[in-house]
Amino acid sequence: MKKADNILASDSFTLYDLKVEVVAIDKPMICGHKEGDCFLVIGENLVFPDNSNNYFSMYALSALLPLLPAKQRRLDKNDWMLSDSLIACPDPNCGAKFKITRIGTRSFSHAECTAVNHHAKSAEPPR
């Protein structure tokens, strides 16, 4: 292995690619969701399929956004964030659920994602 490959290998981390999809339950959907509407999460990007009939509510998106970075990462097998993948619409009268599925993995380079030094200690809790 060349030195450059070595640096790249030590700099890499893996995230799951996600698919977020509208699923229907017995309760009617109110917000204009359609079963099967979806988007992908690839790294930091939300990717919407090239389909003019594919919509996604910004209110539903606001409820989903805090969960997505956690779902992209490896989790403890006992973590509820791993097992819970159906998220309710924030409208209490709406029956839509949003299913988050891990669809693959992808490697990223730390240096290509941030200007912060790879060995910075700022993320550690205070002692």
Q: Does 31 bind Zn ion (CB under 5 A)?
A: yes
Residues touching Zn ion, count (CB under 5 A)? 5
Please state the three-class secondary structure of the chain as a single string: CCHHHHHHHHHEEEEEEEEEEEECCCCCCCCCCCCCCEEEEECCEEECCCCCCCCCCHHHHHHHCCCHHHHHCCCCCCCHHHHCCEEECCCCCCCCEEEEEEEEEEEEEHHHHCCCCCCCCCCCCCC
Under rule CB under 5 A, residue 91 binds Zn ion: yes
User: 24 or 82: whose CB is closer to Zn ion?
Assistant: 24
Measured CA to CA in angstroms, residue 79 lies from 5, 70, 76, 83, 101 at distances of 34, 11, 5, 7, 16
Q: Residue 20, interface with Zn ion (CB under 5 A)?
A: no
CB of 78 to Zn ion, least distance (A): 30
Nearest approach, Cβ of 39 to Zn ion (angstroms)?
Answer: 15
**Is 89 a residue that touches Zn ion (CB under 5 A)?**
yes
* Region binding Zn ion by CB under 5 A among candidate stretches 12-20, 26-34, 97-105, 109-117: 26-34
Q: Which is nearer to Zn ion, 11 or 91 (CB)?
A: 91
In terms of CB distance, is 8 or 23 closer to Zn ion? 23
Residues that bind Zn ion (CB under 5 A): 31, 89, 91, 94, 96
